[in-house]
Structure 1
Amino acid sequence: MPLTPSDRELVVEELGRDPTPAEEALFENLWSEHCAYRSSRPLLSAFDSQGEQVVVGPGDDAAVVELVEDWYVTLGIESHNHPSYVDPYDGAATGVGGIVRDTLSMGAYPIALTDSLYFGAFDREHSRYLFEGVVEGIADYGNSIGVPTVGGSVAFHPDYEGNPLVNVACVGLLRADRLVTARARTPGNALVLVGNATGRDGLGGASFASEDLSEDAETEDRPAVQVGDPYAEKLLIECNEALLDEELVVAARDLGAAGLGGASSEMVAKGGLGARIDLDRVHQREPNMRPLEILLAESQERMCYEVRPDDVERVRELAGRFDLGCSVIGEVTEGNYVCTFADEGGDRETVVDVPAEYLADGAPMNDLDAVAPASPERDLPDVPSREAFEAVVGSPNTASKRWVYRQYDHEVGARTVVRPGDDAAVLAVREVGAEPRSAGESSGPSARETGLAISAGADPNWTSADPYEGARAVALENATNLAAKGARPLAAVDCLNGGNPEKPKVYGGFRAIVHGLAEMCRDLSVPVVGGNVSLYNDSASGPIPPTPTLAMVGTKAGYDAPPASLAGEGTLLVVGDGPLARAEVRLGGSEYLARFGGSDRFPALPEAPADALDALADVADHPATLAVHDANHGGLAATLAEMVTGDAGATATVEDAPALFDETPGRAVVETTDPWAVRERFDGVAPVTELGEANSTGTLTLRAGGETLTYGAGEIAELRDVIARELE
């Protein structure tokens, strides 16, 4: 993709001359939608990114928030959508590698990954091929580098057939005194490249990610996909720790989109500085690489560091200790961003000489037309309760994702307390230290025992039905997942995925998810501290649904959390607004309609969601609480089916059968031996409705609208095991 005539005209005016081929390619990539957010940046001011806990907000490789005094966590999320269509294994694997390096560049050690994956209809052979390849790529890379994949989501929807989504988030941990940013500091400091050698893989990846996928993308665009080496990444993780231990890093930047040219120019631009880079000094794995290739190759497992001159030799030594390449490629300056290259005869040529800030931040924003999504009419199918229950509970969207997460090492690092398959993962952050207890003191958690809860995902059924309300629901659902484990939200990052923004209906849906997500996060007092935008997810089969993946973290005192599965001993309550608390059921965006067709309005969301989630977090930590499970995808039918395991069963009653399939977010099912305590905590906050009783029969009995459905735990497990059954 060459520069558009209008962009080229701006560059020529700024430089006072025609750009060189290398300059033109740099501007093309750094001014692409993928790097410059030309269609989305005007919308992103809707997000509230401020808060007392926010240390570094949007704009760096990852965001940084305070966990407890003297300890920070980093949050980052990125998409690798187009590469994962062209090459599902390497596309997904290098997505993991990139977000981990974003974590390293802030001075943090990566402690957890989540993956939110979206594919075409599960019954399509090509969708299953992509699904299997992506999961394998994530598993092989994450397991090899020793970072646990602890959560995420998987969704199937026909509109992803020509363009799947792979959204990966990473959480890191660091002491406050180890914080590093991507802002270059001092002219005269060296720029040092550490990691794998540079090859020709990934050329033009940023511009490739900024255009619709063509029908022959799997063959034509293969060179734009990077190839990962997780073992080099593991060495880079440990080398980065050693560099930080010795305080050798002044600033750092991961080499991701637009490669060395993107990382180095953005680093100095953030500091209002320039650079001089000798491209022939870059360690290379292929002969006769051209300057443009060295600048733009997106070869993986590479970091660019700003280093004081006196520390350069020690950086070389540490890189050598970890068997990593190391090149001193130039220095920070007060002038332009300048790149030179010496040919075999030793003649040095200046191939780039541009203002760094103009290159990194000068792209003009797009002013696009938008058409607001239409509201659906009510048109509900009439389906027998048993058929509906089995179709919804047995849908790949609500089915067990055990086939996916059992391929991930989710316990490496010995932090994972609540594992994948629950509402949210919970990690024990022991590094912050626990205060010693005196003899005879209560064994409850001390103020320094911190649990970190993580939830991530979105629901394309919701945002297809109503982009604005569906995006609000995505934020509420992720926060409810945290509250169900007794945690309160700390911060979030988003990955905003959309189709071709030049189509007014597509851009209207994208604008709606931005405003919906921002509004609910503001209502919940959750700062959105960073994120990623991926547009042009469009193909011959049409645009994807607007997909606002959210990764949210929360904290709690201690590490214990109630399970999602029943104990078989308590009363079942539904807490929160929903169809059990009001006469009207809304099935818009539900898996029920996805299975049987029809349309409806999206459910009304609660008016005071923050208060309700605060109450839910308290209930989750109450000693009488035996189980808590967020009620969302698939409604109460899927929620209760997921809670019945082994010998634990339940009897539940709803007045009308459709209420089983309403997916109003913000609700949860609680098993408790003290229903009065739950009602007292929710008094004046949100409704509490008795649903039934848990028991030790291993059977789920549902009474709905005069009909009784009975399923044993084994029958439910068979229904919910559809993914593994089809793929194994």
Structure 2
Amino acid sequence: MPAPHAAPVLDTVSHAADDPGRELPWAELGLKSEEYQKIREILGRRPTGAELAMYSVMWSEHCSYKSSKVHLKQFGEIPQETPVGPMLAGIGENAGVLDIGQGYAVTFKIESHNHPSYVEPYQGAATGVGGIVRDILAMGARPIAVMDSLRFGPLDADGDTRRVLPGVVAGVGGYGNCLGLPNIGGEVVFDESYLGNPLVNALCVGVMRHEDLHLAKASGAGNKVIMYGARTGGDGIGGASILASVTFDEDGPAKRPSVQVGDPFMEKLLIECTLELFAAGIVAGIQDFGAAGISCATSELAAAGDGGMHVELDKVLLRDPTLSPEEILMSESQERMMAVVEPGDVDTFLAICEKWDVEATVIGEVTGDGRLVVDWHGETIVDVDPRTVAHDGPVYQRPLARPDWQDALQADGSGALARPASEEELRETVLRLAASPNLCDRSWVTDQYDRYVRGNTVLAQPSDSGMIRIDESTNLGVSVATDCNGRFAKLDPYAGAQLALAEAYRNVAAGGAVPLAVSDCLNFGSPEDPAVMWQFAEACRGLKDACLALGIPVTGGNVSLYNQTAETPILPTPVVAVLGVVDDVTKRTPSAWPSVEGDQPGHRVFLLGETREDLDGSEWAHVVHGHLGGLPPAVDLDAEKRLAALLHEGGQELGLLASAHDLSDGGLAQALVESALGNLCGVRVDLAGVHADPFVALFAETPGRVLVSVAAADVDALTDLAARHDVPLTGLGVTGGDVLVVDGGFEINLLELRSAWMATLPVAMA
């Protein structure tokens, strides 16, 4: 997300659908009347058509963050330092960059491509992956892995989910697979609120040496501006910038031409070409082309530099020669980059591009006058201060108000819901939840992704965390997880954002990593709804407070608003990605306990953390009763820090932990299911020490808990470790056999359990 910049704060004025201004050209570009007047004041004259096009896309909600800046600025209050050292680049850059030791740095970021993925699922998702990969590339890093956080309407929604889901998954897999980037994890969530407005959030991780860091700025008068990559076409004109800044009506959008079209093979060439350009030391500044296309790349490069820029737009290579200058400025054609190069290096730059069969052309130069000037066949069509385009757009103090229905929602807890009354009903509930859309096996999705290409994937676990090796000689690696429970966020958006962070933090720690930093993708409804803005403001405040408590910074991210159909917003969905560093990936802690062969003794299973009666907003209430109400679980961030420290020491330093699986959706029951099915190894557990009520013990979703297993010889060491870190430890049982057994209750054969868990998505998608 961009760094906040000083700009006048405007009072928002809602415009009725019959506003006569809607008939004016500026209104057709998505600008409001007061925004158009502000442009005239900035320029001191009426804008040209090209200037109007440039301001309209750059001042769109998607590009300018005009409704969210006032809330995002609080992330700047968080110290920009990770647990292992200072950040090398943070908020305001294309992506955050972190020092992970041994001279290495990693960069990561998550962004949305929601509305385009509903209009055209395959291309919308594919170009979402392509865009985030170029953000990472533009920092000077080699992209090494991707993840995706996906949300759809109900799995059985024939006219929506069954159209969108296959296309999105194919787009994510098709683009990433062609790039040779492993997909190492993510989420797939289903809920009624995402019907007609799916969420497609894509994440990329890149690695570089410290000295390879590059920034997006145009400095040095006389330096040349070069566009390289794919030619500019008519696809994506006003796509991500304008399409993502409006609300769908009940009939859905009719904006298919606004969706970009991706070419992953061109992007692969662009990646390798760019990395060779970096290695040659001839790139003085660089910017990828994302939303707003040339308008964005030129204005942001010039605004971040110490001069200005002069561009000859007619030198841009086109796929469609009939494009007008306004269309060229707004086009969001994919696989394009812009570089600033010293004059003496231009020939070398062009030769490297030619080697990789990447078209490149000099379209302008850096100037010293502080202006962005664009000519078209000798006529000046843009003459602006680039900061007014890139940074000094309107900042809205949107009205916000806690909704009238919030008290009633929170008062409607799950206490009155019917609970399983017998051991057999408990057994059936375990099976039902394991087979539910949000907890079932994700292989139908992940099998379409290449998770192990390039050979450095250590862990590719959907719904938990992914891990990838950075250095083969030292086994240094990183772990990444994305998480969010939108139901919790609706019950209490402040707590919901903190719970999302805590879960991702815990997932990264469970593998043995030290959590370092956050990237977020904040998905909400219309900012013109005061209730939505209250949710957004509370989520930002919750995330900031949680980052301060955990001692990790926000490196950047994305805001996606207008995620609603007609008057119905999605669940507030502040997706949080956490990245952690792993000293030695060969010592990573698996999520499933080991199998038991022959007469070998089983591993001892323990629960770390305390269990409370946290059932409001739970998967049990959602699946069994279709209920949402009450208060989300209370998160103890200090306890999360102590737990993470235990997991790192017990895994990486002491090698005690044979497995570690966090408890979240579905509670202990689902953690037992996934830990057992990982290696088809059963377990016998006693729930008496967890909670007096076996139902609560199994299905409560209290945060700050992890299911671990250790060899019998390591039980005392684990007990001492838990005591030192002040983490509650409860013995559950022993692994072995082919049955999940709850003493005094029920048992489920693992083949029956696996059949229920694996069948849901393939049957639904058949």
Give the TM-score taking structure 1 as reference length. Answer: 0.93
Deviation at 1:578, TM superposition (A): 2.5
- Of residues 53-62 and 538-547 in structure 1, the stretch that sits farther from structure 2 once superposed is 538-547
Deviation at 1:49, TM superposition (A): 5.3
Letter in 2 for 1:711: I
Counterpart-to-counterpart distance in 2, 1:365 and 1:541: 24
1:370 partnered with 2:400: yes
Counterpart-to-counterpart distance in 1, 2:680 and 2:116: 45
Q: Paired residue for 1:393?
A: 434
Corresponding residue to 2:609 among 576, 579, 583: 576
Deviation at 1:387, TM superposition (A): 3.7
Letter in 2 for 1:616: L
Q: Paired residue for 1:270?
A: 304
Counterpart-to-counterpart distance in 2, 1:575 and 1:319: 54
1:337 partnered with 2:375: no
Q: Paired residue for 1:615?
A: 646
- Compute the RMSD of aligned alpha carbons: 1.6
**Could you say what secondary structure the match of 1:683 adopts?**
helix
Q: Which runs of 5+ in 1 are unaligned?
A: 343-347, 435-448, 580-584
1:77 partnered with 2:110: yes
Deviation at 1:144, TM superposition (A): 0.2
Q: 1:565-612: per-residue Cα shift (whole Å, max 9, x none)?
A: 122512211102322xxxxx0212210111113433211222512122
Counterpart-to-counterpart distance in 2, 1:687 and 1:564: 19
8 Å Cα contact 2:30/2:242 also seen in 1 = no
Corresponding residue to 2:703 among 662, 665, 688: 665
- Of residues 102-111 and 692-701 in structure 1, the stretch that sits farther from structure 2 once superposed is 692-701
1:512 partnered with 2:547: no
Corresponding residue to 2:666 among 634, 654, 662: 634
**Could you say what secondary structure the match of 2:303 adopts?**
helix
Q: Paired residue for 2:383?
A: 353
Using the aligned pairs only, state the percent identity: 38
1:566 partnered with 2:597: no
Counterpart-to-counterpart distance in 1, 2:718 and 2:579: 25
Letter in 2 for 1:403: W
Counterpart-to-counterpart distance in 2, 1:103 and 1:592: 39
**Could you say what secondary structure the match of 1:633 adopts?**
coil
How do 1:135-146 residues align onto structure 2 when only pairs under 5 Å count? 135-146=169-180
- Of residues 469-478 and 49-58 in structure 1, the stretch that sits farther from structure 2 once superposed is 49-58
Assess, with a 3 A threshold, how the Cα gap between structure 1 residues 303 and 481 changes in structure 2: closer, same or farther.
same
Q: Paired residue for 2:69?
A: 41
Letter in 2 for 1:694: V
Counterpart-to-counterpart distance in 2, 1:362 and 1:541: 30
1:383 partnered with 2:419: yes
8 Å Cα contact 1:157/1:460 also seen in 2 = no
Corresponding residue to 2:354 among 320, 334, 345: 320
- Of residues 644-653 and 31-40 in structure 1, the stretch that sits farther from structure 2 once superposed is 644-653
Q: Paired residue for 1:438?
A: none
Deviation at 1:386, TM superposition (A): 3.1
**Could you say what secondary structure the match of 2:298 adopts?**
helix
Corresponding residue to 1:112 among 145, 150, 170: 145
Counterpart-to-counterpart distance in 2, 1:417 and 1:293: 45
Moved over 6 A (4+): none
Q: 1:505-543: per-residue Cα shift (whole Å, max 9, x none)?
A: 111111121112222222111111111111111112611
- Of residues 494-503 and 562-571 in structure 1, the stretch that sits farther from structure 2 once superposed is 562-571
Letter in 2 for 1:124: A
How do 1:190-209 residues align onto structure 2 when only pairs under 5 Å count? 190-205=224-239, 206-209=241-244
Counterpart-to-counterpart distance in 1, 2:680 and 2:390: 60
How do 1:204-603 residues align onto structure 2 when only pairs under 5 Å count? 204-205=238-239, 206-218=241-253, 220-335=254-369, 336-342=371-377, 348-372=378-402, 374-375=406-407, 376-377=410-411, 378-380=413-415, 381-384=417-420, 385-421=426-462, 423-430=464-471, 433-434=473-474, 449-540=475-566, 542-559=568-585, 560-567=587-594, 568=596, 569-579=602-612, 585-595=613-623, 596-598=625-627, 599-603=629-633
Count of residues paired in the alignment: 699
Q: 1:119-174: per-residue Cα shift (whole Å, max 9, x none)?
A: 11111121122111101000000000111111111111110002111011111011
Q: Which runs of 5+ in 2 are unaligned?
A: 1-28, 421-425, 597-601
8 Å Cα contact 1:461/1:594 also seen in 2 = no
1:679 partnered with 2:713: no
Deviation at 1:217, TM superposition (A): 4.2
Q: Paired residue for 1:101?
A: 134
Counterpart-to-counterpart distance in 1, 2:567 and 2:431: 30
8 Å Cα contact 1:190/1:312 also seen in 2 = yes
Q: Paired residue for 2:48?
A: 20
8 Å Cα contact 1:149/1:408 also seen in 2 = yes
Assess, with a 3 A threshold, how the Cα gap between structure 1 residues 627 and 328 changes in structure 2: closer, same or farther.
same
**Could you say what secondary structure the match of 2:128 adopts?**
helix
Assess, with a 3 A threshold, how the Cα gap between structure 1 residues 647 and 60 changes in structure 2: closer, same or farther.
closer
Counterpart-to-counterpart distance in 2, 1:257 and 1:453: 28
Letter in 2 for 1:576: G
Q: Paired residue for 2:754?
A: 717
**Could you say what secondary structure the match of 1:75 adopts?**
strand
Deviation at 1:277, TM superposition (A): 0.7
1:162 partnered with 2:196: yes
Deviation at 1:187, TM superposition (A): 1.4
Deviation at 1:63, TM superposition (A): 1.2
Counterpart-to-counterpart distance in 2, 1:46 and 1:399: 38
